[in-house]
Chains A and B, each alone.
Chain A
Amino acid sequence: MAELPARLAALTQARIGLGRAGQALDTAATLAFDLAHARARDAVHAGFDVSALQAAFDVIEVRSAAPDRATYLQRPDLGRQLPAAEAARLRPTGADTAIVVGDGLSATAVARHAVPLVRALLPILGGRLAPVVVAHQARVALGDAIGAALAVDIVVMLIGERPGLSAPDSLGAYITWQPRPGRQDSERNCVSNIRPPHGLDHDSAAARIAWLVHQARARRLTGVALKDESAARPRLG
């Protein structure tokens, strides 16, 4: 068979130079793929363990209109809605800024990164902060309804991103000025790929989020009009 020089494999994370068994991948390559896919699948379906967040912060828990994971995956519209009974737990407190932690598509990402990221954010966000809201079966836009119920000016939504085969634990942060249901994705700013040690570390992510929050307060907007020098925005959930 033709052979790819081994050193070329170092030029890319792509799965090149894999071994063959007949026409198929060899056992090592097959099982390496299975492991990566298993981790990504586990991240999508992992239960959202909020105990660490509860232990670290004063939190309020809410659930979206999606009752379970299967529904959540098929009905993104329900994951963006906050039922009235849930909204009733949230009251305006005079706060102007809220942090929401949602499971999104990777509770694994939240479990690994949410507590240290929120710890890094609290001292530098400024403003008057509402209690941290923890949201189950959440899409990004659920933060709009939560922000509206709290009557805050800014919502920072921290949420598990769609797991890739090599990145099952990536957290995203979405910053929205004047959150209310109906906001478009183009009206938010995003800091993505928060995933140390491979992606953005917690302190750098917190600094970038805080910069965007301060800019949003000063300019009274978020979205495409507020350019940030961070990487390209990912697809929203």
Chain B
Amino acid sequence: MPYTHDLGGTRHRFADLRMVMAMASPHRSGDVLAGVAATSAEQRVAARLVLADLPLATFLADLVIPYEADEVTRLIIDSHDAAAFAAIAHLTVGGFRDWLLSDAADGATLAALAPGLTPEMVAAVTKIMRNQDLIAVARKIRVVTRFRGTIGLPGRLSVRLQPNHPTDDPAGIAAAILDGLLLGAGDAVIGINPAGDSVAAAHTLLLLLDELREAYAIPTQSCVLTHVTNTLQLIEAGAPVDLCFQSIGGTEATNRGFGIDLALLAEAQAATLALGRGTLGQDVMYFETGQGSALSAGAHHGVDQQTLEARAQAVARAFRPLLVNSVVGFIGPEYLYDGKQILRAALEDHCCGKLLGLPMGLDICYTNHAEADQNDMDGILTLAGVAGVNFIMGVPGADDIMLNYQSTSFHDALYLRDVLGLRPAPEFEAWLLSSGITDAGGRLSATPARLALPALLDG
């Protein structure tokens, strides 16, 4: 149904809820590319004014993608917890923003509310939130997950050690892993993006990761970020699979483009759980998302990219993940043009994910054809730390030589822990101390510590 708002003699008309949502979004190139962005600054605010007055219950009745057409919509509606929602059912979107910022909405209250929130509700409220609101609200919410370590506790910042190599060379990857460990990274996961799609090569890398982790007795988990069907084959072949990874999107058709559906994710989760490799917990899934993936796959249904990103997060929460991160600047300037747009998307994705109850990390990153540089990343990194991000990436020197983009470095993580007084996951922190990598104060040791080299690198 259409929505209107009158402003000083001008009637702003929006064809349907999708257009209200899209036009209320802060400007970004991907929504322009999709033809759904506001065409004037006033029209954008008019859309926000419409949105602010909408009852939250609207999003349970006026579905942006029809129930019959899309299994992600069915998941959202069928898993909605009406009892949890009851606490805020009387609020409008604007009233919800005010309440989220109030002291009444503390961490425990928000955690209890999460199952009552749909992705469209959290997307809508974040569209009328400023960046500081996105930080202030997300900061209240801690989502703690466990496998061999405990990730997401207050005052902690974990790092995914990302030792990629353009030919998946095990020695090159092992060297990058050692570099990261010696700089305090790896407590979220040691996770390799393989260059190729070969199951045999992924098996080799999993064995390498497991051997290193065992040799050094590191309380962390490993992952080769390959397609879920490959992971199923690897489990079948007896490979040491800690975590099951998959890229996911916010529509059924986007997920089809990724070669997955919800049933396949459930099958993969069950197979990974059956291995029982976690010692502290059994959160075994690792998901990556990113604004723009649905449009890129021609599967956006006229919905704006931020709303679709929140829907992707709704897919993630159905599978009790250990780690979820938005790869926020990877997709390129046709979706997020510059540092300002990447920053906004990072804070949105982090806040929406936390509101939905996800253990949110961020891959704070950019490509060389985006209008962004290291200074932009420093700002996003610092603000994400203040917002309480669970984990960030650790890439040698911020330069991923396989994926050809720039993410955050091991040194960036050291900086963030230092300026905000954040510490690694407790089990990993104890390991860093006992290995002589850090001192009693938690800083890198002043005296050289050496890890004995694994056989692969020795000699």
Contacts and interface: CB of A to CB of B under 8 A. Distances in A.
Interface in A68-117: 73-77, 105
Given A3-B182, A3-B450, A36 B399 contact: yes
A232 interface: yes
Contacts of A77: 33
B446 A1 contact: yes
A2 B444 contact: yes
Contact of A14 (B32, B333, B396): B396
A167 B29 CA distance: 26
A11 interface: yes
Nearest to B449: A2
Interface residues of A, number: 43
Nearest to A29: B397
A41 B173 CA distance: 28
B396 A20 contact: no
A37 interface: yes
Interface stretch (B68-76, B141-149, B239-247, B409-417): B409-417
B259 interface: no
A23 B398 contact: no
Interface string B152-175: 000000000001111001011111
B374 interface: yes
B448 A3 contact: yes
Residue of A9, A44, A74 with most partner-chain B CB within 10 A: A74
A74 B33 contact: yes
A17 to B, nearest CB: 6
A25 B171 contact: no
A40 to B, nearest CB: 4
Given A12-B172, A37-B368, A164-B368, A5 B453 contact: yes
B369 A162 contact: yes
A163 interface: yes
Residue of B165, B399, B406, B415 with most partner-chain A CB within 10 A: B399
Contacts of A162: 367-369, 404
Interface string B360-388: 00000001110001100000000000000
A175 to B, nearest CB: 22
Nearest to A105: B369
A62 B444 CA distance: 57
B407 to A, nearest CB: 11
A37 B374 contact: yes
B436 interface: yes
A13 B409 CA distance: 15
B229 interface: no
B369 A9 contact: no
Contact of B396 (A15, A34, A40, A75): A15
A1 B179 CA distance: 12
Contacts of A1: 182, 444-446, 448-449
Given A11-B172, A23-B411, A16 B397 contact: yes
Interface string B424-437: 00000000000011
A75 B33 contact: yes
B457 interface: yes
B401 A14 contact: yes
B418 interface: yes
B334 interface: yes
A142 B174 CA distance: 42
B178 interface: yes
Given A73-B337, A162-B369, A24 B175 contact: no
A33 interface: yes
A44 B32 CA distance: 22
B401 A12 contact: yes
B331 to A, nearest CB: 10
A52 interface: no
B175 A16 contact: yes
B176 interface: yes
Contacts of A33: 374, 397-399
A168 B369 CA distance: 11
B66 interface: no
A16 B453 CA distance: 16
Contacts of B437: 2
A197 to B, nearest CB: 17
Given A2-B448, A3-B182, A162-B369, A16 B176 contact: yes
Contacts of B450: 2-3
B276 interface: no
A36 B196 CA distance: 26
B230 to A, nearest CB: 15
A73 B334 contact: yes
A73 B366 CA distance: 14
A77 B298 CA distance: 13
Contacts of B396: 12, 14-16, 18
Given A12-B172, A16-B397, A40 B368 contact: yes
Given A12-B171, A14-B396, A24-B411, 14 more contacts: A1-B446, A2-B450, A3-B450, A8-B178, A8-B179, A14-B163, A14-B164, A14-B175, A40-B368, A41-B368, A74-B29, A163-B369, A165-B404, A232-B196
Interface of B: 29, 32-33, 163-166, 169, 171-176, 178-179, 182-183, 195-196, 333-334, 337, 367-369, 373-374, 396-399, 401, 404, 406, 409, 411, 414-415, 417-418, 436-437, 444-446, 448-451, 453, 457
26 contacts: A1-B444, A1-B448, A3-B449, A3-B450, A4-B179, A11-B169, A12-B165, A12-B173, A12-B176, A14-B165, A14-B172, A14-B176, A14-B396, A16-B175, A16-B176, A24-B411, A33-B374, A37-B406, A41-B368, A44-B368, A44-B369, A73-B334, A74-B29, A164-B404, A165-B368, A167-B404
Q: Ordered nearest first, which 4 A-B pairs have the shortest CB separation?
A: A15-B397, A12-B172, A164-B404, A16-B179
